Amino acid sequence: MLIWFVILYLLISVGIGLAAATRVKNTKDFAVAGRHLPLPVVTATVFATWFGAETVLGVSATFVKEGLHGTASDPFGASMCLILAGLFFARKLYRLNLLTIGDYFRLRYNRGVEILCTICIVISYLGWVSAQIKALGLVFNIITEEAVSQELGMIIGAAIVLTYTTFGGMLSVAALDFVQMIVIMLGMGFIAILISDQTGGMGNVLAQAAAQGKFDFWPSGGWELWVPFIGVWLTMMLGSIPQQDVFQRMTSAKDEDTAVRGSVLGGSLYFLFAFVPMLLAFSAILIDPVKFGVLVQEDSQKVLPVLILEHTPVYAQIIFFGALLSAIMSCSSATLLAPSVTFSENIIKGFFPNMRDKRSCG
């Protein structure tokens, strides 16, 4: 039953993406959704920028191992990046009416800087894209009880995300992000309540986490601990502001006020909901310390999926994996669309200035 519901959900997702793709008429529609997205959709798509495999599976495992101290980069740095981008950059960038962040580098400097920065931006997405696709393969492998290998699952997942992203661009991504954000919030919230009942309530989970020092955020030591801590925090918080996916989501708004508010709200929601998988992973340790303690060390990404499969009924499994797939797919589409758009617009089109929009989008 779980597998069939997952298949149905994937088919609906592709259908929504392809339906939105029918509204794509030019590069502006493909790259920044025609710049007419309302506040709820902008908030959803900003939230979905990085709420993917790393947030649900990776950060949660890091929290169990290292506590909040290990999450300086994500979600603290990541959420602050989105909020700061909205407060200090969204309004100014929106007024420039550009399609990519590479356009800004050309406008501010020259063609050479545009090409160099674009190449760096494209390369920076390779690892992030790979992580999302690998997570999709892991999910398909788990829900099919290893009938589908992780490699085949990666191919299936990549094909699904590529389908609606290639045809619909930012319009399809935004439409699905809105639906997927609702699924993520409701699904993760429900699962948190369900799992907390097995651990004596959320109050007990928080108390146990605090007693074990999991909420200790600041380093306790000298400069050799503070320097790397501040480094990873600032790298994500400031270094990711001039990225195409952040730029696309801000400038897809219907006006500059919506761009600012959507970025701040999306970043704030991202920060809040990133704690849900953290607490779920810690709950797994409370439920079965031996088994999940070993799993954290051997393959930490499997902690939450195994917890759900072994300690919740089928309907809860459907809700969780629907939310998990929503998170990974929304993040995957962002990491695929951003580098492809900026590479097409800032490198290929620069050498072929007379290229038509449809060929550029393709």
pLDDT in tens, 47-97: 987 887 778 888 888 898 889 989 999 899 999 999 999 999 999 999 999
Of the ranges 123-127, 214-218, 260-264, 272-276, which one carries the lowest mean pLDDT score? Answer: 123-127
Of 47, 87, 42, 38, the closest CA to residue 269 belongs to 47
- Comparing C-alpha atoms, which of 153, 93, 102 is closest to residue 124? 102
Residue 120 has pLDDT above 70, yes or no: yes
> Across the chain, how many H-helices and E-strands are there?
21, 0
Instruction: Give the pLDDT score at 223.
Output: 87
Task: Give the Cα separation of 154 and 136 in Å (integer).
Answer: 6
What is the structure's pLDDT at 49? 79
Give the pLDDT of residue 357: 54
d(C-alpha 314, C-alpha 332), whole Å: 26
Q: What is the pLDDT of residue 143?
A: 84
Q: What residues contact residue 27 under an 8 Å CB cut-off, 6+ apart?
A: 99, 345, 357, 360, 361
Instruction: Quickly count: other Cβ atoms within 10 Å of residue 26's Cβ.
Output: 13
- Is the model's pLDDT at 361 over the cut of 60? no
How much of the chain, in percent, has pLDDT values that exceed 70?
Answer: 97
Going from the C-alpha of 202 to that of each of 62, 230, 279, 287, the distances in angstroms are 20, 31, 9, 13
Is the pLDDT at 163 greater than 90? The verdict is no
Q: In the structure, what pLDDT confidence band is assigned to residue 353 with cuts at 50, 70 and 90? A: low
Q: What's the whole-number average pLDDT of the chain?
A: 87
Predicted local confidence at residue 19, as pLDDT: 87
For the chain, the 3-state helix, strand and coil shares in percent, each to the nearest 5, are 85, 0, 15
Query: Hey, which residues does 253 pair with through a beta bridge?
Result: 37
Q: Tell me the pLDDT band of 326, cut-offs 50, 70 and 90.
A: confident
The confidence score (pLDDT) of residue 210 equals: 92
What does the pLDDT read at residue 355? 61
Chain length of the chain: 362
pLDDT at 358: 53
List domains and CATH numbers for the chain: 40-347 (1.20.1730.10)
Angle at 182 between CA 66 and CA 362, to 5 degrees: 95
Residue 130 — very low, low, confident or very high, per pLDDT cuts 50/70/90? Answer: confident
Q: Which structure tokens are listed for 265?
A: 């709200």
- Name the least confident of 21-25, 50-54, 93-97, 204-208: 50-54
Task: Tell me the CB-side half-sphere exposure of residue 198, using CA atoms within 13 A.
Answer: 19
- The SS3 of residue 213 is coil
pLDDT of 360 above 60: no
Q: Out of 238-247, 285-294, 350-359, which region has the weakest mean confidence (pLDDT)?
A: 350-359
Name 12's Cβ contacts closer than 8 Å, sequence gap at least 6.
none
**What's the mean pLDDT in 249-269?**
94
Integer angstrom CA distances of residue 312 from 34, 197, 254, 308: 43, 11, 42, 5
CA–CA gap between residue 197 and residue 126 (Å, rounded): 40
